[in-house]
Structure 1
């Protein structure tokens, strides 16, 4: 069986598993706010879905996104999730011979998009105490060359959970400007950060800010995201996008309601996910060989190192899966460091976090006996 079939059947199994505890994809499983639900129900009852949405998104939503990010007078392009926007960015601006610079770990798909466009991908290791689990701008400067076309920064970093300081982001922006490179700031997890600085603040002319509604609003399955950049850059991205017929009307109506009511309900989500982080930290601290190198996380997820406990991350993920808890092993994010850790998502009901914590000691023991390769995505 081809790999694409294996991968799809893997995820088809997950979405059709009743009662699965989704703790591996950073998805948000808190109950949606009533105002958001009503907006989507009204969209269905009014049958708005018969018509195409505007190609760059509903004007109200575009304005709300720019206002939320504080990036006026930049323009906004609504996309089918952040990943579709990243695909458009990489295929529009990367060419054969260009260099695409990012970190290791990072999110894997933009690297695949850049490679498909013919670019050379360069990763700067940031995992480990020797790097402080973050990108030192001086190390970025060492690898940037005249061929560097794009610098891709996931901040807060997925999967590590660290976040650039304002000074670090300023220096990164200066390096990008000096090279004439496009700086792509993927800030999908900014809403969970303790403090967050947008790169566009320092380099507005060639920064593309990527944002998603999948995590903070819990819209992963509805596919709505955004690109925010100068009008000149959006003009280029709008010339031949993957979808020129507009994103889901249902998702956009929900997104509008989410932004309008965010101040009323999101603080509860933030407190709940940080409480789950604390629960898991206490459970990890009780098990010899486990450690949490970054705590608290600036994302809605945690990295747990498990090699000193004598278990492989893939094995631990497989064991958790047998108990209906889906987590991610590090190999999904990085080949160089993936054998060190698992990643656990925390925007989930508190009961799920307790289940994970209670199962963890048993899962460690079960995983120690698994040495054969484990197929996982």
Structure 2
């Protein structure tokens, strides 16, 4: 089988495992608000799926996204999820010979999108105590060249959970502006942060804010997100979007309903996932060699370092997989630092996290000395 067939078959097995505990993809498994379910049910009953949605998205949804971000005066282009937003931005803005700068670790797919059009990719390492697990503006400035076209900032960072301070965002925006580069501010995990600061108000002319409903609202499988930017940029992106016939109308109705009930529903989700982070921390730090370098995380996930325990992340992931629990090995995010950590999603039912925590000592013991040959993705 070709590699893409093997990869797809792997995820097909996961999707068709009805009792799988999804703790590796940062998906939100909180019970939806009744209003969100009602909006989807009405959409289906009214058979709206026969029609195409507006090409840039429902006007109510576009405005709701702008209002949620507080970016009045900018424009929103609804997309088939944040990944589709990133694909479209990279393929529209980059050309062969351009340079795309991001961190290591980062979200990997935009690097693949950049390379696919002939751009070069430069990563700035941020993993490790010496970097504070974050990007310093000074190191970004030193990496800029006259070929830099896009600076891609995942904030809060996936997988580390660090978030930029207001001063750091101001400095990063200034660096991008001086370079004349586009700043893609990927805010997929913004709603989980203790504090979050947008770059767009500081550099509106070339900041592209990436918005997602997959994580905070739990609509990962419905594929709905948006690009928010200056109207001139949106006009350029809207000229040839991959979803020119509109994004999933069922997803858009759910997103509109979700924005309306966010302040009522989301605080309990946030509180539970932060408590789940604490459960993981207590369990991990009770085992010699395990540690949590970023706590609390500003995302709906945590990183646990396991190199000090003398175990390979892949071995630990495979051990949990046998128990029906999906977590992620560090190599999924970074080949350079992936041998040091695992990542666990925390926007899940508490009893999933309790099961993970209770099994952790046994799984660590099982992973010791194990040479894992199972292909992981």
TM-score (ref. length: structure 1): 0.99
Q: 1:240 offset after TM fit, Å?
A: 1.0
**In the alignment, what sits opposite 1:302?**
302
TM-score (ref. length: structure 2): 0.99
Kept in 1: contact 2:127–2:337 (CA 8 A): yes
Q: 1:281 offset after TM fit, Å?
A: 0.7
**In the alignment, what sits opposite 1:243?**
243
> Secondary structure of 2:200's partner?
helix
For the pair 1:163 / 2:170, whether they are aligned, the reply is: no
Q: 1:373 offset after TM fit, Å?
A: 3.2
**In the alignment, what sits opposite 1:75?**
75
For the pair 1:218 / 2:218, whether they are aligned, the reply is: yes
CA offset digits 1:176-221 (Å, max 9, x no partner)? 0000000000000000000000010211110000010000000000
Q: 1:368 offset after TM fit, Å?
A: 1.1
Trace 1:56-205 onto structure 2 (pairs within 5 A). 56-205=56-205
**In the alignment, what sits opposite 1:348?**
348
Q: Distance in 2 between matches of 1:34 and 1:310?
A: 46
**In the alignment, what sits opposite 2:256?**
256
**In the alignment, what sits opposite 1:314?**
314
**In the alignment, what sits opposite 1:277?**
277
> Secondary structure of 2:283's partner?
helix
**In the alignment, what sits opposite 2:27?**
27
Q: 1:69 offset after TM fit, Å?
A: 0.2
Q: Distance in 1 between matches of 2:23 and 2:165?
A: 28
Q: Distance in 2 between matches of 1:310 and 1:265?
A: 42
> Secondary structure of 2:227's partner?
strand
Q: 1:374 offset after TM fit, Å?
A: 3.1
**In the alignment, what sits opposite 1:373?**
373
CA offset digits 1:266-297 (Å, max 9, x no partner)? 00000000010011111111000000000000
Q: Distance in 1 between matches of 2:374 and 2:140?
A: 35
Kept in 1: contact 2:318–2:372 (CA 8 A): no
Q: Distance in 2 between matches of 1:307 and 1:197?
A: 33
> Secondary structure of 1:100's partner?
strand
Q: 1:241 offset after TM fit, Å?
A: 1.0
| Unmatched tracts of structure 2, length 5 or more | none
> Secondary structure of 1:201's partner?
coil
